């Protein structure tokens, strides 16, 4: 997208977390402000001994493996909240390798994500892209376009992959996840990944917070293991549990994990 195609009301001088992530993944849908902020984060990561781009790719790998596991188990409906800019192996593409009629609703609060998603998906009747906010899960579950596209009485999964940390108020994150668990209902799945505080010292955390405070999302929260585990409430967390994104693989469970350097933790829960 060139600057001349930017919709009214979008200030491309303000970095977007969606476009920064696109840059980490090697995508082209980003502007100078996004690249500058992303490079700052890459440098902060480097100082901490982490490779931000590698962690972003590992997060994407987790998303693919989780969707594959669920699709192979027969889940054919997905609501992907904080879907991000379309990239390779989007949810519907992974799911369809296993269930040909998989239906997906992509939700994001970044209008540029929606423009790209709709352009890519315009001709696909099984896929819907909607503007929506994770902060209001009921509005997503009750949206007539969602209930018209999916049959929520049948098995489905909600994905909240690398998005909850943009809700940086802890109480709000607790409220959102509690509500999502309630709405999911028995037998349904939550796929979640979240930036992990690891051994990021105060300086690195503050430096990262400083960069993300300049984005349209306004900040980011690194959280500890227990808090992230708490987002699954009393769901059954499926094997291999809540582990570093790179290690999450039910087909090859990790023997030993290095939490400290993991960057992002990931897990899949099923409502009992
Ligand atoms: C780091 S990207 C993750 C994309 C994708 N889920 C993945 O893991 O590959 C985070 C996405 O969440 C979106 N996002 C941030 N806050 C959100 C909110 N409150 N509601 C919906 N989407 C949000 C951003 O616009 C961005 O596209």
Chain segment 96-149, per-residue pLDDT in tens: 999 999 999 999 999 999 999 998 888 899 999 999 999 999 999 999 999 999
Residue 203's pLDDT is what? Answer: 75
Report whether residue 86 contacts ligand 1, using a CB cutoff of 6 Å.
no
Choose which residue among 24, 34, 108 to substitute to test ligand 1 binding: the one with the highest number of ligand atoms within 8 A of its C-beta: 108
- Whether the per-residue pLDDT at 199 is higher than 80: the answer is no
Which band of pLDDT confidence, cut at 50, 70 and 90, is reported for residue 230? very high
Note down the domain range covering 195.
Answer: 3-270
Q: Residue 154 sits in a domain of what CATH number?
A: 3.40.50.150
- Whether the per-residue pLDDT at 260 is higher than 60: the answer is yes
- Whether the per-residue pLDDT at 192 is higher than 80: the answer is yes
33 or 256, greater pLDDT: 33
204 or 248, greater pLDDT: 248
DSSP states along the chain: --GGGPPTT--TTS--HHHHHHHHTT-S---HHHHHHHHHHHHHHHHTT--HHHHHHHHHHHHHHHHHHHHHTT--EEEEET--S--SS-HHHHHHTT-TT-EEEEEES-HHHHHHHHHHHTT-TTEEEEE--TT-HHHHHT-HHHHHHS-TTS--EEEEES-GGG---HHHHHHHHHHHHHHH-TT-EEEEEEEB-TT--HHHHHHHHHHHHTSTT-----B-HHHHHHTTTTSEEPTT-SEEGGG--SSS--SS---TT-SEEEEEEE--
Report whether residue 84 contacts ligand 1, using a CB cutoff of 6 Å.
yes
Residue 33's pLDDT is what? Answer: 97
Report whether residue 137 contacts ligand 1, using a CB cutoff of 6 Å.
no
Domains identified in the chain, total number: 1
Residue nearest to atom 27 of ligand 1 (CA): 84
Report whether residue 133 contacts ligand 1, using a CB cutoff of 6 Å.
yes
Report whether residue 57 contacts ligand 1, using a CB cutoff of 6 Å.
no
Mean pLDDT computed over 9-19: 93
- Whether the per-residue pLDDT at 4 is higher than 60: the answer is no
Choose which residue among 84, 116, 175 to substitute to test ligand 1 binding: the one with the highest number of ligand atoms within 8 A of its C-beta: 84
Residue 48's pLDDT is what? Answer: 83
CA–centroid distance, 255 to ligand 1, in Å, is: 30
Report whether residue 82 contacts ligand 1, using a CB cutoff of 6 Å.
yes
263 or 70, greater pLDDT: 70
């Amino acid at each position: 997208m060139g600057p001349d195609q930017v919709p009214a009301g979008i200030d491309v001088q303000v970095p977007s977390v969606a476009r920064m992530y696109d840059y980490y993944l090697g995508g082209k849908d980003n502007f100078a402000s996004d690249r500058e902020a992303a490079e700052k984060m890459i440098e902060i990561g480097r100082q901490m001994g982490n490779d931000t781009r590698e962690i972003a790719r590992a997060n994407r790998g987790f998303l693919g493996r989780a969707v594959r596991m669920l699709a192979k188990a027969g889940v054919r409906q997905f609501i992907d909240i904080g879907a991000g800019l379309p990239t390779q192996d989007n949810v519907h593409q992974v799911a369809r390798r296993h269930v040909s009629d998989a239906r997906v609703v992509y939700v994001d609060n970044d209008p540029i994500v929606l423009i790209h998603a709709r352009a890519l998906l315009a001709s696909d009747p099984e896929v819907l892209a909607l503007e929506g906010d994770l902060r209001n899960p009921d509005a997503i579950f009750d949206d007539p376009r969602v209930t018209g596209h999916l049959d929520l009485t049948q098995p489905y999964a909600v994905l909240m992959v690398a998005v909850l940390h943009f809700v940086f108020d802890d109480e709000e994150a607790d409220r959102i996840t509690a509500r999502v668990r309630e709405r999911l209902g028995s037998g349904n799945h939550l796929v979640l990944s979240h930036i992990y505080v690891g051994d990021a010292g105060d300086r690195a955390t503050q430096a990262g917070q400083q960069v993300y405070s300049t984005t349209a999302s306004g900040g980011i929260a690194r959280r500890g293991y227990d808090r992230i585990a708490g987002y699954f409430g009393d769901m059954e967390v499926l094997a291999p549990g809540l582990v570093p994104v790179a290690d999450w693989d039910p087909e090859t469970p990790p023997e030993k994990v290095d939490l400290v350097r993991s960057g992002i933790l990931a897990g899949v829960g099923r409502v009992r």
